[in-house]
Structure 1
Amino acid sequence: MTCVRRCSFLLLLCCLAGLLPGPVAQAAEPGVLRVLAWPGYADPDVVRGFEQRHKVRVEVTLIDSDAALWQRMSASGGKDFDVFAVNTAELQRYIDGALAQPVDPAAIPNISRQLPRFRQVEAIPGLVRGGQVYGVPYTYAEMGLIYDRSQFVLPPDSIQALWDPGLRGRVLAYNGGVHNFSLAMLSLGSEQPFRIGAEQWRSTVERLIELRRNVLGFYAQPEDSVDLFRRHRVALMLANYGTQQLRLLRAAGADVGYVIPREGALAWLDCWVVASGARDRQLVEAWLNYMLEPEVSGLLVSRQSLGSTIAESAENRPQDHLRWLEAVEDVGRRERLWVRVISGDRLARVLAP
């Protein structure tokens, strides 16, 4: 046999050997799902259940701010993760940046478990573009009103109560410019609280100055609000953290109620989104479906006091009007003017260039 023929023969044997199973063949490495999420969304026991069911490994990376989420996703053009959780107000820039892919609802059977308000995706701002759905609603929290039952004959039913002079010094509000400008717009009857027109800034700032004069103070963290509420016998609080604050107050022994005002409550909605760098679409869809199982979704309620998209909250009613957060017209201006408002500046100074 010539050298050329012998080399060809050996090459053929090597190719055939690679196709045949044998004792030296190695088992295929299990699939890996790369998840980017907020704390409490993918706890170890939840992840372990998914891994065991699908015989895969899940790598979870946690973030604690919208800025950190954007940095992680944008650093690699979305290639470092398969699926991530983001709120609908932020989702648009991920779509614009080609960091997110459309979702195929037909591939996620458990979507049928969701409450009607979450299945009607066209009614959720920022979730649909070009007729395609870009996220699966997962959890939410609304900014309702917490009130001391002993100080109200009837529960307050409007955000106007925050401005009630009869409650002056017994009201708590959240220290956040973006949300508070939207709140002021709602109190003025606006149906577009996330878009302040040029002619509306003056009246909105006036409204916030009135709020500053009526409240005991502004809190930042839920624990701070609980301490202030109990020490100063507060009557009414805008609950920026929703039912999380309600649970903390009740655990501390406070006799409090919770209502969604008739004007509606500002609310954030987090969705699971398919990253542009997703490597195994079927595995991602299995994860999305798993997240909507009752046992998994229920942990958001029991552990985090967050809302589940597949079961009504005891504090909410189907007819409650939740106003999902949207991107606002000018974050920088809202925050800049808010600093002036809470510093005690008068209207002319607040509105100065």
Structure 2
Amino acid sequence: MVLRILLVLSCLLGFPGLPAPAAAQPAAKVLRVLAWPGYADPEVLQGFTQKTGARVELTVVGSDEAMRQRLLANKGRDFDVFALNTAELQQYIDQGMALPIELQRIPNTRRQLTRFRELSSIPGLSRRREGQLQVFAVPYTFSEMGLIYDRRQVTAPPASLQELWDPRWKGKVLAYAGGTHNFSLAALALGQSQPFRIEDSRWPAAVDKLVALRRNVLGFYSLPEESVQLFLRHRVALMYANYGMQQVHLLKAAGADVGYVIPREGALAWLDCWAISAATQQVELAHAWINFMLEEPASSLLVTRQGLANTVSESVSSAPQVTLRWLEPVEDEQRREQLWSRIQSGDRPSKVLQR
């Protein structure tokens, strides 16, 4: 009994000659990241851990809907930082789920191209509150929705979106299956200045335009891999590239001889950014993540491995003369999808708007 008491006292007091209790090791910091495939490859995660000592828990999603489910399930408390496009960002700002960015903590924004440093000029990134401009996300990667063409069939690069409706290519055109984007495409092709806000008087013209597109195309695709398979199998001449250079990258890898252009009307484009969860307990680490993602190798891997564009180096669509329309929330997403479903089912223009 006496020996047992001495042993306990030795552990507590650290008597000489007896082993001291092991010192408690501080738990490694963890950064929880929600992103799209290819945005943070293993070597990128490893590099961040080596630089900061923090472990990254990466969750990957494949659709905006899946991201919404993840973020809204627990009011963003399950993640510290997440990647999303400017249109999707709006709902998280409105619900107080996105933290204003402290740009002084992200010095690598100086590496970005000028158009991506002028944050106030990019719709959806900032809000003015109490006389101050607050920024809620930092641009990371983007893709414009241009035109891909088979060089063997289309000898001159298509200059206009109207080529998608050209009878010369009837049955040899591929287009995207999403109704929301397609109504914006129709509005852009019709010369409307606000493709994300279709006025009541302009719905009939937009419907007519998409019915005409349905009659001219071979079909519609949803995923980039699907578009490549259809393009090759059916010797497609022209494709509306919802995924932009990512599809070009895949087609060239499959041996296709294709060209890619931004039409004179400009192009719709999505801009994915890094945002910080308002519920995070790792504010400093979240800013460090965004800063790190603007360095090598993350930025270059977006181009070389994913076929996407980054915000720190020039690309086809970062040229000053190219007009990009960054996606914005539309006037009525549900209405667009319902009308598009009727158009795809084969309804005549006069019937689409009657129901």
Deviation digits for residues 196-227 of structure 1 (CA, Å, limit 9, x no counterpart): 11111111001111111111221222222222
Residue identity opposite 1:73 in structure 2: L
- Other-structure match for 1:45: 43
The residue identity in structure 2 corresponding to 1:174 is Y
The correspondence for 2:120, drawn from 119, 122, 147, is 122
**Distance (Å, rounded) in 2 between the aligned partners of 1:65 and 1:165:** 34
Match in the other structure for 1:161: 163
Q: Which amino acid aligns with 2:55?
A: R
* 1:286 counterpart = 2:298: no
Matched AA of 2:119: V
Structure 1 partner of 2:85: 87
Q: TM-score, normalization: structure 1?
A: 0.90
The structural deviation recorded for 1:315 is 6.6
Q: CA deviation at 1:104?
A: 1.2
What is the CA–CA distance in structure 2 between the aligned matches of 1:276 and 1:111, rounded to whole Å? 21
Which of the numbers 197, 203, 206 marks the counterpart of 1:204? 206
Partners of 1:74 and 1:99 within 8 A in 2: no
Q: Secondary structure at the match of 2:305?
A: helix
State the Cα distance separating 1:294 from its structure 2 match: 2.9
**Matched residues in 2 for 1:150 and 1:76: separation?**
52
Q: Classify the secondary structure of the residue corresponding to 1:79.
A: coil
Match of 1:297 among 299, 302, 317: 299
Query: Where does residue 135 of structure 2 map in the other structure?
Result: 133
| Deviation per residue, 1:78-103 (Å, 9 max, x gap) | 22221111110010100111110110
CA contact (8 A) 1:173 1:238 kept: yes
Structure 2 residue identity aligned to 1:68: A
Q: Which amino acid aligns with 1:229?
A: F
Q: Tell me, yes or no, if the aligned pair for 1:146 and 1:237 is still in contact at 8 Å.
A: yes
Contact 2:173 2:236 in 1 (8 A): yes
Residue 152 of structure 2 aligns to a residue whose secondary structure is: helix
Alignment partner of 1:220 out of 219, 222, 242: 222
- 1:64 offset after TM fit, Å? 1.9
What is the rounded CA distance, in whole Å, between the counterparts of 2:149 and 2:331 in structure 1?
32
Deviations 1:270-317 (A, max 9, x none): 110010112122111111110000322111112211111111125753
How far is 1:230 from its partner?
2.3
Q: What is the TM-score of this pair, normalised by structure 2?
A: 0.90
The counterpart of 1:332, out of the listed 319, 326, 334, is 334
CA distance in 1, matches of 2:255, 2:119: 39
Which SS does the other structure have where 1:173 is aligned?
strand
Could you say what secondary structure the match of 2:159 adopts? Answer: coil
Are 1:98 and 2:100 matched, yes or no?
Answer: no
- The one-character-per-residue Cα deviations of 1:208-254 (angstroms, maximum 9, x if unpaired) are 11111111221222222222222332221101111121122222222
Q: Which runs of 5+ in 1 are unaligned?
A: 1-13, 15-21
Three-state SS of the structure 2 residue aligned to 1:304 is: coil
**Is the alpha carbon distance of 1:228 and 1:70 closer, same or farther for their aligned partners in structure 2, counting shifts above 3 Å?**
closer
Aligned to 1:294, the other structure's residue is in SS state coil
Looking at structure 2, the residues matched to 212 and 67 of structure 1 have their Cα atoms a distance apart, in angstroms, of 26
Cα distance, 1:328–1:175 mapped onto 2, change above 3 Å: same
2:33 partner letter: V
- Secondary structure in 2 matching 1:132: strand
CA RMSD in angstroms, aligned pairs only: 1.6
**Following superposition of structure 1 onto structure 2, how do residues 1-353 of structure 1 map, counting pairs within 5 Å?**
24-130=22-128, 131-313=133-315, 317-353=319-355
C-alpha displacement of 1:195: 0.6
1:260–1:316 CA contact under 8 A, matched in 2: no
Does the aligned pair in 2 maintain the 1:51–1:57 contact within 8 Å? yes
Contact 2:39 2:298 survives alignment (8 Å): no
Distance 1:183 1:308 in 2: 24
Worse overlay, 23-32 or 321-330: 23-32
Aligned counterparts of 1:231 and 1:81: Cα–Cα separation in 2: 42
Q: Is the 8 A contact 2:150 2:258 kept in 1?
A: yes
Cα separation, 1, equivalents of 2:254 and 2:40: 28
Q: Residues 257-282 of structure 1: CA distance to partner in whole angstroms, max 9, x if unpaired?
A: 00011111111111100101121221
Distance 1:37 1:248 in 2: 21
Structure 2's unaligned 5+ residue stretches are: 1-11, 13-19
1:25 offset after TM fit, Å?
3.5
Separation in 1, partners of 2:148, 2:77 = 43
CA contact (8 A) 1:312 1:318 kept: no
Distance 2:238 2:179 in 1: 20
Q: Percent identity?
A: 60
